[in-house]
Chain A
Amino acid sequence: MAAPMELFCWKGDWGLPSVDVDCLAVLTYARFSGAPLKVHKITNPWKSPSGSLPALRTEENGVISQTHQIITHLRKQKYNADYDLSARQGADTLAFVSLLEEKLLPALIHTFWIDAKNYVEHTRKWYAESIPFPLNFFLPNRMHRQHMERLRLIRGDAWIEDEGELEKELYRDAQECLSLLSQRLGSQKFFFGDSPASLDAYIFSHLALLLKANLPSSKLQQHLKSLDNLCNYCVSILSMYFTWDMAASQSTSPRRAQAEPQDGDEEPHKRRNQILSVAVGLIAMIGYALLSGIVSIQRGSAGNAVTGRVVIGEEDEED
């Protein structure tokens, strides 16, 4: 067999293998289907071959960066978790994934990125601490803007006008969605009986993130915690498929994890940081020199040319 596929995704925390919904979905699917992946858990999306996370580097199709496409690709590689499903169940998978995307995802985005308290105290803090310097100064903001834009585009323009109304609507939809999922799951182990399928990967990724994050304010989290079967579902998947990761992530604090080189990834990291910081310093210095230089040159020439018309800036000073 050829070289294994490489998966780049956000690193984990809070007892989860990854802190990003999409990454988590791909990771979970890979575990379910038993796909052998070389996983790079990183904290710098610029290091991903596609510039975004998750990304799958494959031999034949290059780099794939969208969750659906990655899962489809894995499925085509014979790592199919949906092999046993009937056509009807396949249809249900499609329908419930749509339900998640339309109803739960907007509320998740709102909870993690738009809700001011959560964003500042939780999401922004985590990303700012995890992303290496100097990217941590602007990447979280950029992600924030992207998510806001995304929510605006999904929900239409109206939400800017009355945010309170939108919030209520979002959370009502999401709570309904959670209740529906709870109903659908019932007392089963997985959504389609005893073995996990791709739908479980999608649903688990959304639910686990909401369940495990230490959000300072979350109505949605409260609602999820009140739905026992969904909570148990998440916990059992975590313990069945991610035991090793959980142990690893609990033993290492985020800071130490950053200090320890993983797969030798940290090496170019440091170098780039050094180069970047030197470059920033240089630019600042040259900029300052140039600026002050221009000013002094202009002043000097104006002083020499007594009879000539003076530049506008100088005129102000004469008055």
Chain B
Amino acid sequence: MGTVHARSLDPLPAAGPDIGFVVGDDAELVEVEPETRQEVLENKDVVVQHVHFDGLGRTKDDFIVYEIGEVFKAKNLIDVMRKSHEAREKLLRLGIFRQVEVLIDTCEGDDALPNGIDVTFEVTELRRVTGSYNTMVGNNEGSMVLGIKLPNLCGRAEKMTFQFSYGTKETSYGLSFFKPQPGNFERNFSVNLYKVTGQFPWSSLRETDRGISTEISFPIWKTSHTLKWEGVWRELGCLSRTASFSIREESGHSLKSSLSHTMAIDTRNSSILPRKGALLKINQELAGYTGGDVSFLKEDFELQLNKRLIWDSVLSASLWGGMLVPIGEKPSSIADRFYLGGPTSIRGFSMYSIGPQSEGDYLGGEAYWAGGLHLYTPLPFRPGQGGFGDLFRTHFFLNAGNLCNLNYGEGPKAHLRKLAECIRWSYGAGIVLRLGNIARLELNYCIPMGVQSGDRICDGVQFGAGIRFL
């Protein structure tokens, strides 16, 4: 009886052993379990007769069928193993199983064909409710975050999450519901309900958002698309009594209802410190036609190219740009405008402290561009190579960009000229630390150039943490 444990396949395809190797192992396994009937099935045509599931509780059968349908189409053993492996990957990605094991066995029973094979998935479902508890400290306040997750709510990989953060200054919460299309995890639908409070000291602004949004994501060819409707009730207020009058004028309630579309092509091997590949992301948002009292059209894009050079070094170039066009009489709101500057965009400047300002409060701009050129290299002398040291990189960077407001009387040429004048730029070097595959930390020495009056600079050592970097 040839038993193959597909479990030995690594869930990470990039680093996992390839299928052929495991099949080579087959002979060994056969030796370990000596049986009378020995057969090499490697290249023989087989038929997958049954697929069994052990350990299914509340997951619906019809939903599972979509995920493992391909297994039946396998023609030979290698195919069976590959397809089973893929099915296992798919099952794990659904986020409803803690463990999936695959067992491939020859078929037994009355109706067994001579070349019939049974595949058995042994799964362990996640608990009906999982909770988490965190405390966070930062930005002069502490907060406690409670999270509740209900995976596989109705048996078809629906997920409900609730997060509640109770802080010393603010409370926020979020409730979201997520449902993928059976058999096609990339096509999914989600609804979010949230309240978020943000304090923006660079603008002396406090913003409380309460909103609801629905999102549909789907892939087309190599691109992924997201269509989103969002309705947000925004409450703006001054952070302190000393806020400038321009901020005061923005205070009050507004309701934004917007439709947005995002298209992204991502061929990078990792979103943090990629070695190769490119990213193009185009986002457009139209607010106002579906209700609310805020109307604008907002376009922005992000482009990143990575090229591997000698000695494990990577050259990375990125370009961001965006434009906000208010529709109608009303000027754009401070909450919708773009901000630039800080350790995640143009290094060497203080956080969001570039461009139009009033009494030291930055007001943001309606158009911006920013570009960056980075050379990432391993640490000098490569300490801790192959382990801890691989989380670090040194980098040399050159950032540039500009942010301004648009005056629609002047025409597009004038706008371009405006964006090309008085470019802020900076250069420097530093160390980058990768935190998992989610975030990164940077410690840089920066030299800001092209500083305009009113900008706040942060020359010398600057620390940055974030998810999205220029």
Chain A interfacial positions (CB closer than 8 Å to B): 162, 165, 309, 312, 315-316
B129: chain A residues within 8 A (beta carbon): 312
Min CB distance B105 to A, Å, is: 25
A309: chain B residues within 8 A (beta carbon): 57
B57: chain A residues within 8 A (beta carbon): 309
Asked if B241 contacts A312 (CB within 8 A), the reply is no
Q: Does B127 contact A (CB under 8 A)?
A: yes
Chain B contact surface mostly: loop
Min CB distance B285 to A, Å, is: 32
Q: Does B468 contact A (CB under 8 A)?
A: no
User: Would you list 8 pairs from A and B whose C-beta atoms are within 8 A, ordered by A residue?
Assistant: A162-B241, A165-B241, A309-B57, A312-B127, A312-B128, A312-B129, A315-B127, A316-B127
- B367-386 CB mask vs A (1 if < 8 Å, else 0) is 00000000000000000000
- B206-232 CB mask vs A (1 if < 8 Å, else 0) is 000000000000000000000000000
Given the complex of chains A and B, what is the CA–CA distance between A309 and B127 in angstroms? 13
Beyond A162-B241, A165-B241, 6 extra complex contacts between A and B, CB < 8 Å:
A309-B57, A312-B127, A312-B128, A312-B129, A315-B127, A316-B127
Residues 237-270 (chain B) with a chain A CB within 8 angstroms:
241
Which A-chain residue is minimally distant from B239 (CB atoms)?
Answer: A161
- B45-65 CB mask vs A (1 if < 8 Å, else 0) is 000000000000100000000
- B270-312 CB mask vs A (1 if < 8 Å, else 0) is 0000000000000000000000000000000000000000000
Which A-chain residue is minimally distant from B238 (CB atoms)?
Answer: A161
Min CB distance B339 to A, Å, is: 24
Chain A contact surface mostly: helix
Given the complex of chains A and B, what is the CA–CA distance between A84 and B128 in angstroms? 79
Min CB distance A60 to B, Å, is: 50
Given the complex of chains A and B, what is the CA–CA distance between A312 and B128 in angstroms? 7
Which B-chain residue is minimally distant from A309 (CB atoms)?
Answer: B57
Given the complex of chains A and B, what is the CA–CA distance between A316 and B241 in angstroms? 52
Min CB distance B96 to A, Å, is: 15
B241: chain A residues within 8 A (beta carbon): 162, 165
Given the complex of chains A and B, what is the CA–CA distance between A309 and B129 in angstroms? 16
A316: chain B residues within 8 A (beta carbon): 127
- B118-143 CB mask vs A (1 if < 8 Å, else 0) is 00000000011100000000000000
Min CB distance A165 to B, Å, is: 8
B127: chain A residues within 8 A (beta carbon): 312, 315-316
A312: chain B residues within 8 A (beta carbon): 127-129
Which B-chain residue is minimally distant from A315 (CB atoms)?
Answer: B127
- B159-171 CB mask vs A (1 if < 8 Å, else 0) is 0000000000000
Min CB distance B394 to A, Å, is: 43
Min CB distance A286 to B, Å, is: 29
Given the complex of chains A and B, what is the CA–CA distance between A298 and B4 in angstroms? 41
Given the complex of chains A and B, what is the CA–CA distance between A162 and B241 in angstroms? 9
Given the complex of chains A and B, what is the CA–CA distance between A315 and B241 in angstroms? 54
Given the complex of chains A and B, what is the CA–CA distance between A286 and B133 in angstroms? 32
Min CB distance A235 to B, Å, is: 42
Given the complex of chains A and B, what is the CA–CA distance between A165 and B241 in angstroms? 11
Given the complex of chains A and B, what is the CA–CA distance between A59 and B333 in angstroms? 63
Given the complex of chains A and B, what is the CA–CA distance between A162 and B242 in angstroms? 12
Which A-chain residue is minimally distant from B129 (CB atoms)?
Answer: A312
Given the complex of chains A and B, what is the CA–CA distance between A165 and B242 in angstroms? 13
A162: chain B residues within 8 A (beta carbon): 241
Given the complex of chains A and B, what is the CA–CA distance between A229 and B303 in angstroms? 79
Q: Which 3 A-B pairs have the closest CB atoms?
A: A312-B128, A312-B127, A315-B127
Min CB distance A310 to B, Å, is: 11
Which A-chain residue is minimally distant from B98 (CB atoms)?
Answer: A319
Min CB distance A178 to B, Å, is: 27
A165: chain B residues within 8 A (beta carbon): 241
Min CB distance A313 to B, Å, is: 10
Which A-chain residue is minimally distant from B241 (CB atoms)?
Answer: A162
Given the complex of chains A and B, what is the CA–CA distance between A19 and B128 in angstroms? 57
B128: chain A residues within 8 A (beta carbon): 312
Min CB distance B169 to A, Å, is: 10
Min CB distance A283 to B, Å, is: 29
Which A-chain residue is minimally distant from B128 (CB atoms)?
Answer: A312
- B96-118 CB mask vs A (1 if < 8 Å, else 0) is 00000000000000000000000
Which B-chain residue is minimally distant from A162 (CB atoms)?
Answer: B241
Min CB distance A185 to B, Å, is: 37
Given the complex of chains A and B, what is the CA–CA distance between A315 and B127 in angstroms? 8
Min CB distance A158 to B, Å, is: 9
A315: chain B residues within 8 A (beta carbon): 127
Min CB distance B430 to A, Å, is: 38
Min CB distance B267 to A, Å, is: 39
Given the complex of chains A and B, what is the CA–CA distance between A315 and B128 in angstroms? 10
Min CB distance A237 to B, Å, is: 42
Given the complex of chains A and B, what is the CA–CA distance between A86 and B372 in angstroms? 83
Given the complex of chains A and B, what is the CA–CA distance between A316 and B128 in angstroms? 11
Min CB distance B453 to A, Å, is: 31
Min CB distance A110 to B, Å, is: 20
Given the complex of chains A and B, what is the CA–CA distance between A162 and B240 in angstroms? 9
Given the complex of chains A and B, what is the CA–CA distance between A312 and B129 in angstroms? 8
Given the complex of chains A and B, what is the CA–CA distance between A312 and B131 in angstroms? 13
Min CB distance A118 to B, Å, is: 25
Min CB distance A2 to B, Å, is: 56
Given the complex of chains A and B, what is the CA–CA distance between A165 and B57 in angstroms? 61
Given the complex of chains A and B, what is the CA–CA distance between A315 and B55 in angstroms? 14
Given the complex of chains A and B, what is the CA–CA distance between A275 and B138 in angstroms? 50
Which A-chain residue is minimally distant from B58 (CB atoms)?
Answer: A309
Interface centre among B57, B127, B129 (most CB of A within 10 A): B127
Given the complex of chains A and B, what is the CA–CA distance between A316 and B131 in angstroms? 12
Which A-chain residue is minimally distant from B57 (CB atoms)?
Answer: A309
Given the complex of chains A and B, what is the CA–CA distance between A138 and B149 in angstroms? 36
